[in-house]
Amino acid sequence: MDDKEQAEGEKRVREHLIEPLLALGLARPTTLTKAAFETMLRTLAQMLARMSEAELAVLKAWALKNPGGPNRDRFPIAAHMLAAAKTIRPPDKTDAGPFARRVMASPAGDEAFKHGFAPELLAYVRANPGKWPQSLTLEKLRNQARPAYVRFEDLLLRENRDQEISPADRRFLANRKAQIDTCCQIAAKGKAGEKAA
């Protein structure tokens, strides 16, 4: 999803989910300030941008059946909406929003690929949308990934030498390869977006 598609998707979420729910009377949760509620709605629009109008209609129906608050008259919190959205349309692991693509295509992403912690960087970016990873965070991710990186490199070496690898190690190797491949695809989309801009 490129920046244009992301913007169109966010507009679609506002038009077909957020605005209709507000118009039907679902109010701001009392635990959120106005600013926090606007931030929640903006984040919701960003994270649901890939959903179609039909999928948003299903999510809207879910929200109307599951309103928040003790009087059941409040807008559901984003965590509940996102959990419901995952049952309607499971996330595409190879797609990422513009922010994740920018991070993976940046020098921070290059460092993650070079030192073997790209999957951990992608997990961080997905868990912290909009929060650019600073050098301390990158160092922490690199240290956390070190055991997985060492194991992966060792298993690759053993595989290349046709040495015996246990079924559990084969699963780990295949899973890590798939994670790295996903990171590469996301970084490539980010770099292609930079060239187009």
Helix (H, G, I), strand (E, B) or coil at 132: coil
Range of the domain at 122: 98-196
Q: Point out the domain boundary residue: 65, 88, 111.
A: 88
46, 69, 88: which is the final residue of a domain? 88
- pLDDT tens, residue by residue, 3-33: 788 889 999 999 999 999 999 999 999 999 9
Question: Structurally, how many domains does the chain consist of?
Answer: 2
Which residue do the tokens 């919701």 mark?
44
In this prediction, residue 90 carries a pLDDT of 75
CA dist list (Å): 148 to 171, 174, 197: 13, 13, 36
Maximum distance among all Cα pairs of the chain, rounded to whole angstroms: 65
How do residues 150-191 score in pLDDT, each as one tens digit?
Answer: 999 999 999 999 999 999 999 999 999 999 999 999 999 888
CA distance 31 to 74: 10
96: pLDDT strictly greater than 80: no
Q: Is the pTM of this model over 0.75?
A: no
Which of 88, 108, 132 is the endpoint of a domain? 88
Residue pointed to by tokens 């070496």: 157
Considering the domain architecture, whether residues 109 and 75 belong to the same structural domain is answered as: no
Tokens of 189: 């989309």
What integer pLDDT is reported at residue 93 of this predicted model?
A: 64
Q: Contact, 145 vs 123, CB < 8 A?
A: no
Residue 93 lies in a domain: no
pLDDT in tens, 126-140: 888 789 999 999 999
> What CA–CA distance (Å, rounded) separates 62 from 56?
10
